[in-house]
Structure 1
Amino acid sequence: MINFISHSNKIFSLTGVIIALIFLQACGTNPTVNRPATVKTQSLESLLKQAQQATGEEKQPLLIQAAGLLVLERRYEKAQEILVHINQQQLTPLQLDDFNLYYGETLLALTANEQALKHLQSVYNLQAKSVAWQIRHAQSLSDAYLANFNYFEAAKLRIELDDIIDTSEALTANNEKIWLALNQLETHFLQSLISDFNTQRVNGWLEIAYINKRWGYYPEKLLSEINQWKMRYPLHPSMVNQPRILQKAEAAEAFNPAKIAVLLPLSGKLGNIGMMIKDGILAAHYQVEDAQTAPQLNFYDTAHSLSALTPYNNAVADGADFIIGPLTKEAIETILNQETINTPILALNRLEEQKYAHNQIYQFGLPIEDEAIQAASYAYEKGFRKALAILPATATGNRARLVFQETFEDLGGEVVYIQEYRETSQLKKNVQRLLGVDSSIERKRALQQLLGRNLEFEMRRRKDADFIFMLASPTEGRTIKPFINYYFAHDLPVISTSSIYSGKLDPQTDIDLNGIEFPVIPLLLSELPQFKESRDALATTLPSALDGRGQYFSLGFDSYSILKQLSILQAFPDYKWSGLGGELGVDDNGLVHRALTWAQFNRGVPHVTKEREIRELNSQKLNPLPTDESPAPIEAGNLTVYQETGQDE
């Protein structure tokens, strides 16, 4: 095993501005940075002056030292300028090791990964180097293996380092690197690497990574397997300084509320939406097998409250130990702006600005951003690299545009042109500009006026795009898509958002939407058995949940269904909950994200083109709903599952 100690962090904390200053001075540039301490500056200046004045074999080691310092300051291009002019034939074996380390690090930073690995592998005299130098080399070599997709070798080097690093912070950082490398490996390959030829420490890492990947979708099973692993490896370094994901997993506890308060507008202009969400929550509540142990469910009508704090405070005063809602962004922000929040909250909307960090606050809405991200990812997955976009000139359209463009370009695609629209009467011209035929039309018109007669004209659209991203309502889409077809772009795929589908089957009208592909909640179109059964249950009891309002019913149903699992979903990034509204996950900020089903219009009828994988252990289906429409309180056993308590001020 390599003789390492943990001084690498000290190496990388050398003076930051000094080298940049001196090198710029040597090039005749006037730096704008402050000059560091005089002693260090003189030492570095002396090094560069000596290198400039030296000749032959004396010059090479001085240049190598200067390059090494430039690497530490991440001035990789400048370091490379020095290193490429060094005569390796004039170097001693130890100097050559320095050269290979610094050049390898430089090439790695400049993404020349294969060449970087070759240089770092060409270091042979480790025992003659300082322990700080050795640990720096091992870290860089591990990073080079990682960059070249040799994840096991990258992890093994770090595991050896882990044996002798002497600070908790450095151990934690090193273990995160081990975890990162091993989690790039496929589950079956991880399992195959576990062998008696490995050390106990290596096998321990392989096993815990395998357990995480194998059971990451099933938290209870995962925690059980981790506990058994601990018995086999009681003093393993990954338990002493756990990777962050394992820390979160072990700390996660399911919520188990006894009294749930739901803050919704049950009257007024948002009353229809609030009531549909309420129906979804009640439907999920009836899925509880034992009504005697089900939590009490109390509804608070927020429509008549001048302040969002009124129903919230009433709910807390009534003993609520979990709150679902409120619905509007303004109400959510009002509640979250309080100095202290002691009751867990699952808000039914998402704020654009994420400035609230609290381990008991979650936000679950239907944001256009999630759909724009999925549209960009889906298009890239299909092989599209050049996009056109047509969106409304609204706040929602602007949010969708920004997120779609950022996501698609981060993936490696390019948004060639973006067209906004405002009035339906202008959609024809908007599509002309989108497809680049407007200039051809203008040229034809000008020539006809000049010549005084009609001209034969062959219109051509732009050819620099693979597909169109469109945000539109069904009505707008039924105008935009025919114009796209008319202007010779019928073969250009169109990817939209869920807003393009009304939720109602209307082949005669929707035939104008033929070819458009869009994401949709599984409840409405999924062909999987559990969703078909849910539609059958709703068809006779609540048919309104099977049209465009179904997203609100699903929001209510899923918010109640995942309530107890929120902290676990947040702790386990691979764990997803298969709800009526999509496959649900929770990120580090407590935001619930949905992955939807994909469908495409064909002869005016949407057909599923891509389904999400459904996990048997948490897939949701809806049992038949109660048909009692009486306004009296509904009972579950001897518990009142809701009450309307509108608060007036």
Structure 2
Amino acid sequence: MKNTYLLLSLAILTLLYGCAAPVSDKRPSKQASAQVPPEVETIADSELSAMDLLSAATDESNNQATILLLQASAKFIYEQRLEQSLHISIELSKLELSKGQRNYNQLNMAEALFELGHTDLAAIELAKIEIASPAKRQLFLQASINVQQDLLVDGIISFLDYHQMYPVQSIDEASYLSSLFSQLTPWQKRALKKRSATGLNGWLAYTEIVAANAHNPANLNSSLSKWQSKYKQHPANLLTPALNAAALEVDNILNYINVAVLIPLSGREAALGKTIQAGIIAAYQLQPDRQLTFVDTNAKGMTDIVNQLHVIKPDFVIGPLLKQHVDSYLATNYQQIGDINTDLVDDEDLLSEPVPQPMTIETVETSVNIQSPQQQTHTWPTLLLNLPEHAFLSENQFALSMLPEDEASQAAFSLSQQGFKSPLILSQNTAIGKRMANSFALQWQKQTSSDASIIYYPSGNKMQQAVKTGLDVNLSDERIYLLRNRVKENVKAEARNRRDVDMIYMFATPDQARLLKPYIDVNISPFANAIPMYASSRSYNVNTDRNTRRDLNGLTFTEIPWLLPSKQVNPLMSADAKKIWPNRNSQLERIYAMGIDALQLIDKVKAMQLIPMLRHKGETGTLQMDTNRIISRSLSWGKYRTSRIQNVEMQ
């Protein structure tokens, strides 16, 4: 047996010397060596390098050689020589190891794979460990894998379980936990509240306080004081000094008075631009101390517009809206010009048509004397109303995301918490329909480790047939037909739908939903329970009549607060808009709400950047910013009733 280990050690040693990299001078701390399981802990000198341990293994036999090789593999991970560690683990896995040795080897392999970026493979290897009481390194690695796999709720619980055994000792550890809670959406937070872990309630209370008050130092300080009196030993107490300092920094940010808005006010997209303009003006009425300048992005090229902004000198820019304009805006520099005189040339055609008072439109008149033009990057704080396709955001640029894929992902997560096992997705056979269906299916797979069935239906007459096929009703019809042909007597039979579907999710227009929902209802077997049906906001039309609500009765859907009764942040503003535009369709209503949020966000984006836990409860949803300065939304839920639209709290 000694020869086996000797040959193995020599083979590994030869290979690793051939691709050896400089070894770091850093040595494992006592704490790091204490993480070694008892069976491997018998190594005498923890200060040895991985290569030293590997060399020593050639002089040992049996169990001691195995211990040295396992320790060498772990030390290679510490030295960030991950391929070498992985090679040793793979070779060791070919030998007969004790249970403890096998577990430790699996842990080394999983950690090396994780550090190399192979998270899914690391999770598979980690799951092979058979141990009643996980080691410290195993707990930490499992939590890290959960976070990396976008299983944020599981990741937070795993880290809290880890810190129950190994309490938070430093600000860095507390800050990392805080960063995880900062990423939580409202729907993830609802799922987290159902779980239990040491310190969870304190973190949730802390998160709620910061989310609501981070932009108001006085309120934040008062609320945190009450929280601290209740959670005296909570690790988040380590963060309160830095949080209060950040809140004071937020309070010192100057108000943005001169705001330029870049939107299409002519051409094919004029209706969208003017609807956003109306929403911005509505929000302006609540805080009429700004000066707004509307710039038509369809009237001139982006170079001219950016040069004009250089003359206007805005404190803040909202827009552009259209994706091609967004990329062009981010890529366009302005010409640094010489003498500027603002009283000779009328450039009024760059601005929009007049809007009602007390709205202020600045009409800029310029006379330009170009002297030694130089290209300069514009640095105005900017809230883009669409995501860039190619460009990257700078430190002062933010983007409002309204991606339908985010809505689909939220729906999949929320519905996966309801106990459903086998969803059927009915989606339009279009590019956007496929994107939403794939987003739903991906999130469903993450949360449940199972696949959702997808049926893409065409528009027109074949739509209902595709649904019938998806429910397997056609197969039941065929069996009934064959039976009737074989039996002389008259056979009474009811078609049966497939029984492996316990929930249906639709991506459909309002008209398609109105056809599909009743059709599914009548094709559900009388012997089966009704299948709950859910839909995206694309299925909701704010101007529904009683007949439509009857056809869609029971359908639950996601929607922005603005379009749901009692969910609006400002109901009076909604009532005023309804008087002015009583028949405006749902799509334009959503654009109008985005205009409201856009103007209100400009006073919060810097605060959200400094304190990521801060939230804005807007008309388009609960808004939060990620580390890339992308602002995403979380929607509410509604349900069709015959007489009304009912708000639903998805638990």
Report the TM-score range of the alignment, normalised by the length of the smaller protein.
0.5 to 0.7
Q: Match for residue 256 of structure 1?
A: 255
Figure out how many residues of one structure are paired with residues of the other and give that number: 525
SS of the equivalent of 2:633 reads strand
> Does structure 2 conserve the Cα–Cα contact (< 8 Å) formed by 1:138 and 1:157?
no
Relative to structure 1, the CA distance from residue 559 to residue 63 in structure 2 (aligned partners, 3 Å threshold; closer, same or farther) is closer
> Does structure 1 conserve the Cα–Cα contact (< 8 Å) formed by 2:283 and 2:596?
yes
**Do structure 1's residue 348 and structure 2's residue 385 form an aligned pair?**
yes
Letter in 1 for 2:292: L
Which of the residues 327, 342, 351 maps onto 2:321?
Answer: 327
Q: Match for residue 286 of structure 2?
A: 287
Q: Match for residue 531 of structure 2?
A: 492
Q: Which has the higher contact order (CA 8 A, sep 6+)?
A: 1
Letter in 2 for 1:343: W
Q: Match for residue 558 of structure 1?
A: 597
The alpha carbon displacement at 1:421 in A equals 2.1
User: Aligned partners of 1:498 and 1:275: how far apart in 2?
Assistant: 22
SS of the equivalent of 1:85 reads coil
> Does structure 1 conserve the Cα–Cα contact (< 8 Å) formed by 2:139 and 2:158?
no
The alpha carbon displacement at 1:42 in A equals 8.5
Relative to structure 1, the CA distance from residue 588 to residue 247 in structure 2 (aligned partners, 3 Å threshold; closer, same or farther) is farther
Relative to structure 1, the CA distance from residue 37 to residue 587 in structure 2 (aligned partners, 3 Å threshold; closer, same or farther) is closer
User: Aligned partners of 1:569 and 1:42: how far apart in 2?
Assistant: 48
Q: How does 1:194-593 map to 2 (within 5 A)?
A: 214-221=209-216, 254=253, 256-288=255-287, 291=288, 294-305=289-300, 307-338=301-332, 340-351=377-388, 353=389, 355-412=391-448, 414-442=450-478, 457-488=493-524, 491-528=530-567, 531-544=570-583, 547-593=586-632
Letter in 2 for 1:301: D
Relative to structure 1, the CA distance from residue 531 to residue 434 in structure 2 (aligned partners, 3 Å threshold; closer, same or farther) is farther
> Does structure 2 conserve the Cα–Cα contact (< 8 Å) formed by 1:388 and 1:465?
yes
Show CA shifts across 1:528-553 (max 9, x none): 58544333333334435685421111
Name which of structure 1's ranges 596-605 and 253-262 shifts more when overlaid on structure 2.
253-262
The alpha carbon displacement at 1:372 in A equals 0.9
User: Aligned partners of 1:243 and 1:539: how far apart in 2?
Assistant: 46
Relative to structure 1, the CA distance from residue 374 to residue 238 in structure 2 (aligned partners, 3 Å threshold; closer, same or farther) is closer
The alpha carbon displacement at 1:36 in A equals 3.3
Letter in 1 for 2:213: Y
Relative to structure 1, the CA distance from residue 369 to residue 83 in structure 2 (aligned partners, 3 Å threshold; closer, same or farther) is same
Q: How does 1:160-171 map to 2 (within 5 A)?
A: none
What do you get for the CA RMSD once the two structures are aligned? 5.1
The alpha carbon displacement at 1:388 in A equals 1.2
Q: Match for residue 647 of structure 2?
A: 608
Relative to structure 1, the CA distance from residue 31 to residue 450 in structure 2 (aligned partners, 3 Å threshold; closer, same or farther) is farther
User: Aligned partners of 2:467 and 2:139: how far apart in 1?
Assistant: 57
Show CA shifts across 1:156-211 (max 9, x none): 3644xx8xxxxxxxxx5x66557579999999xxxx99xxxxxxxxxxxx999986
Q: How does 1:126-137 map to 2 (within 5 A)?
A: none
Name which of structure 1's ranges 391-400 and 313-322 shifts more when overlaid on structure 2.
313-322
**Do structure 1's residue 36 and structure 2's residue 20 form an aligned pair?**
yes
Show CA shifts across 1:401-445 (max 9, x none): 222122222222533311112222111121023212333445556
Relative to structure 1, the CA distance from residue 437 to residue 578 in structure 2 (aligned partners, 3 Å threshold; closer, same or farther) is same
Relative to structure 1, the CA distance from residue 438 to residue 317 in structure 2 (aligned partners, 3 Å threshold; closer, same or farther) is farther
TM-score normalised by structure 1 residue count? 0.66
Show CA shifts across 1:551-584 (max 9, x none): 1111111100111111212333332112222222
> Does structure 2 conserve the Cα–Cα contact (< 8 Å) formed by 1:498 and 1:520?
yes
User: Aligned partners of 1:441 and 1:459: how far apart in 2?
Assistant: 6
Show CA shifts across 1:434-472 (max 9, x none): 212333445556777899998655422222232122111
User: Aligned partners of 1:113 and 1:247: how far apart in 2?
Assistant: 45
User: Aligned partners of 2:156 and 2:633: how far apart in 1?
Assistant: 35
Calculate percent identity across the aligned residue pairs.
23
User: Aligned partners of 1:278 and 1:226: how far apart in 2?
Assistant: 37
Letter in 1 for 2:444: F
> Does structure 2 conserve the Cα–Cα contact (< 8 Å) formed by 1:254 and 1:566?
no
User: Aligned partners of 1:23 and 1:458: how far apart in 2?
Assistant: 71
User: Aligned partners of 2:268 and 2:604: how far apart in 1?
Assistant: 32
SS of the equivalent of 2:624 reads strand
> Does structure 2 conserve the Cα–Cα contact (< 8 Å) formed by 1:64 and 1:99?
no
Q: Match for residue 97 of structure 2?
A: 85
Relative to structure 1, the CA distance from residue 356 to residue 572 in structure 2 (aligned partners, 3 Å threshold; closer, same or farther) is same
Show CA shifts across 1:341-396 (max 9, x none): 31122122234x47513122222253212211221122123222322111112221
Letter in 2 for 1:323: V
The alpha carbon displacement at 1:282 in A equals 0.5
Relative to structure 1, the CA distance from residue 395 to residue 141 in structure 2 (aligned partners, 3 Å threshold; closer, same or farther) is closer
Letter in 1 for 2:542: G
Show CA shifts across 1:461-492 (max 9, x none): 22223212211111111111122112217711
The alpha carbon displacement at 1:275 in A equals 1.3
SS of the equivalent of 2:269 reads helix
User: Aligned partners of 2:9 and 2:488: how far apart in 1?
Assistant: 70
User: Aligned partners of 1:597 and 1:65: how far apart in 2?
Assistant: 52
Q: Match for residue 646 of structure 1?
A: none
TM-score normalised by structure 2 residue count? 0.66
User: Aligned partners of 1:49 and 1:561: how far apart in 2?
Assistant: 69
Letter in 2 for 1:257: Y
Show CA shifts across 1:223-280 (max 9, x none): 8867999xx9xxxx99999999999777657462231111122233222221111111
Segments of 5+ residues of structure 1 without an aligned counterpart are 1-18, 89-97, 121-135, 163-171, 194-205, 613-649
Letter in 1 for 2:276: I
Show CA shifts across 1:41-83 (max 9, x none): 99677555445xx25x755654554564577646496598599
Show CA shifts across 1:101-126 (max 9, x none): 88887799725899474656xxxxxx
Letter in 2 for 1:347: L
Relative to structure 1, the CA distance from residue 242 to residue 477 in structure 2 (aligned partners, 3 Å threshold; closer, same or farther) is same
Relative to structure 1, the CA distance from residue 584 to residue 601 in structure 2 (aligned partners, 3 Å threshold; closer, same or farther) is same
Name which of structure 1's ranges 65-74 and 416-425 shifts more when overlaid on structure 2.
65-74
Letter in 2 for 1:535: S
SS of the equivalent of 1:425 reads helix
Relative to structure 1, the CA distance from residue 212 to residue 538 in structure 2 (aligned partners, 3 Å threshold; closer, same or farther) is closer
